[in-house]
Amino acid sequence: MWANCMTTWPCDHIKMKIDIANKISEFFVNYFTLSGQLVSQAEAEKNIREGVSFRGTNILILIIAIFIASLGLNTNSTAVIIGAMLISPLMGPIIGIGLGVGIHDFDLIKRCVRNLAMAAGFSVITATIYFFISPVSEQHSELLARTSPTIYDVLIGFFGGGAGIIALGANNKGNVIPGVAIATALMPPLCTAGYGIATWQLNYFFGAFYLFFINSVYIAFATFIGVKLMKYQAHTVGDNNRARRVRRIVYSLAILTMLPSIYLTYNMLRQNKFTMNADTFVADECRFPDTQVISHKAYTDHGERVLSMTLIGQPLPADSLQLALSSRLKFYGLAGTRLVIIQGVQAHRDAAQSQQTAAVGDIYRLAQSTISRQQGTIDSLKTIIAEERSSFTASSEVASEIKVVFPNIHRIGISTAVFNNIGEHEGTDTTTVAMVHTKGKLTKAERVKLAEYLEARLSVKSIEIVEVP
């Protein structure tokens, strides 16, 4: 009996494990299966192909979206940038490339690549024009965030593209596509690239365009994998060599695109770790009874790591402090870091120098303002003198001609008068005035003739005739 129990117990135990495994497998299959939730391949392809073309409304919407995104970057408005990403039709040709690679539709791949290149070109040109004419050229955080892509941007593009192809192939799309457009952020990098060209900062251009390239490649790569997982049928079955060649290109491009981002991510993480270690070092090691650290900064100068600290309070022995703190750097992962300590008289001197520099700057600006006002006054006086001289010369030249053309005029004076308007329309008007002494009163026709003659002779638009008895 005991033997029978010993022989049946392992079998029951194994059966129980199999049942548990089957239940777990069934649980995950029920929750993650796509069966019955996908549209047909033809319908999914139709939805994707409709967004590939860039003609008419699509290209106009793209240009408008670029202007909106540029305004958002220019004003550092996250809401405006998100709105531009929702409007943008850039996702279409990128997903189309992934679909074309997955189903071996090489004509679709060519068309999508051509349309994407054209759309990117139009976008960069539009952004360049905007930032070239924009009066605001300040570099805000939203703009700078698009200049240093990392491996995290690779992951965002990949998972965003995966969500996009699943949504396009599903019955219930929900709000996935707008969310993918926001998450992958295709528009802002192109705008930042245009900013780099407009301000001639090519490092911004290359960094931003590389971010756009990362997003495009990995959205297309995720689409390709999604198409394979959803088992879409290939359109051409006879050209397997070409299909394999295209897949190798896709895999190689994905890897090559990722490599620079890995390096940039390594540098970013290294700098973040350096900053955190420096903060910990200052907090733990720089606690003195009568002296405080008022500021510190960890940075890299020509490849050398530097930790700069400013102390205020009772001055400490410089050599001993430098030696003691430098010997503790290695325990915080800061070996090889150059320590710069500013304290006591030097700190006060730096502060005083900073204040002095600010004061000198204020004095300089005040002097420049005073000089500008004085120069304006001098220019005005010069203008008045020149006008008076011009009036005197004109009177002398015209006087000899007047007695021939208008014999009844025996005296004439020409000057420029400034009239102050009184009433609703306040302000000043400058008018050329001719004062004439006549033997008798001028007729209306003679006044008109005299005015026309003087206007032509003196090259003025209008002249006021005043008769003096």
Boundary of a domain, candidates 208, 237, 266: 237
Helix (H, G, I), strand (E, B) or coil at 205: helix
Q: What is the mean pLDDT of residues 8-25?
A: 66
Q: Provide the CB-side half-sphere exposure for 357 (13 A, CA).
A: 6
User: pLDDT tens digits, residue range 18-37?
Assistant: 767 666 766 666 665 666 66
Q: Is residue 232 part of a domain?
A: yes
- Specify the DSSP class assigned to residue 462: -
Residue 397's pLDDT is what?
65
Residue 198's pLDDT is what?
85
Q: Is residue 43 part of a domain?
A: yes
User: pLDDT tens digits, residue range 134-154?
Assistant: 776 666 666 666 667 778 888
390 has pLDDT over 70: no
% of the chain exceeding 70 in pLDDT: 71
**Confidence at 347, pLDDT banded by 50, 70, 90:** very low
Residue 351's pLDDT is what?
46
User: pLDDT tens digits, residue range 33-90?
Assistant: 666 667 777 877 787 787 777 777 878 888 888 888 888 887 777 788 888 887 777 8
375 or 424, higher pLDDT? 375
448 or 140, higher pLDDT? 448
Boundary of a domain, candidates 237, 259, 285: 237
Helix (H, G, I), strand (E, B) or coil at 147: coil
Residue 2's pLDDT is what?
45
Cβ-based neighbours of 282, under 8 Å, separated by 6 or more: 293, 296, 307, 309
Q: Which of 21-35, 107-121, 142-156, 398-412 has the lowest mean pLDDT?
A: 21-35
Q: Is residue 369 part of a domain?
A: no
Strands 338-342 and 409-421: unpaired
Boundary of a domain, candidates 189, 221, 237: 237
Q: Which of 232-241, 271-280, 338-347, 384-393 has the lowest mean pLDDT?
A: 384-393
Q: What is the mean pLDDT of residues 204-215?
A: 86
**Confidence at 358, pLDDT banded by 50, 70, 90:** low
Listed residue (93, 46, 102, 44) closest to 225, CA to CA: 102
103 has pLDDT over 70: yes
Residue 196's pLDDT is what?
87
- Is residue 469 within 8 A of residue 443, CB to CB? The reply is no
Q: Is residue 343 part of a domain?
A: no
Q: Is residue 247 part of a domain?
A: no
- Residue 103, domain CATH: 1.20.1080
**Alpha-carbon distances, residue 314 vs 283, 317, 332, 432 (angstroms):** 18, 10, 26, 75
**Confidence at 381, pLDDT banded by 50, 70, 90:** low
Gap between the Cα atoms of 450 and 160, Å rounded:
82
Q: Is residue 213 part of a domain?
A: yes
Q: Is residue 262 part of a domain?
A: no
Is pTM beyond 0.75? Reply is no
User: pLDDT tens digits, residue range 158-190?
Assistant: 888 888 888 777 776 656 666 777 777 778 888
128 or 141, higher pLDDT? 128
Q: What is the maximum span of the chain, computed from C-alpha positions, in angstroms?
A: 156
Residue 352's pLDDT is what?
45
Residue 395's pLDDT is what?
60
Q: Is residue 266 part of a domain?
A: no
The amino acid occupying position 257 is T
Structure-token pair, residue 124? 């960069």
User: Domain range spanning residue 126?
Assistant: 34-237
Residue 463's pLDDT is what?
80
Q: Strand pairing partners for 313? A: 291
Q: Which of 125-139, 261-275, 334-348 has the lowest mean pLDDT?
A: 334-348
Q: What is the mean pLDDT of the chain?
A: 76
**Confidence at 346, pLDDT banded by 50, 70, 90:** very low
294 has pLDDT over 50: yes
User: pLDDT tens digits, residue range 235-266?
Assistant: 765 567 777 787 788 788 888 878 888 887 88
- Residue 458, domain CATH: 3.30.300.30
Strands 304-313 and 338-342: parallel
For the chain, the domain total comes to 2
Structure-token pair, residue 369? 């303002």
343 has pLDDT over 60: yes
Q: What is the mean pLDDT of residues 361-387?
A: 64
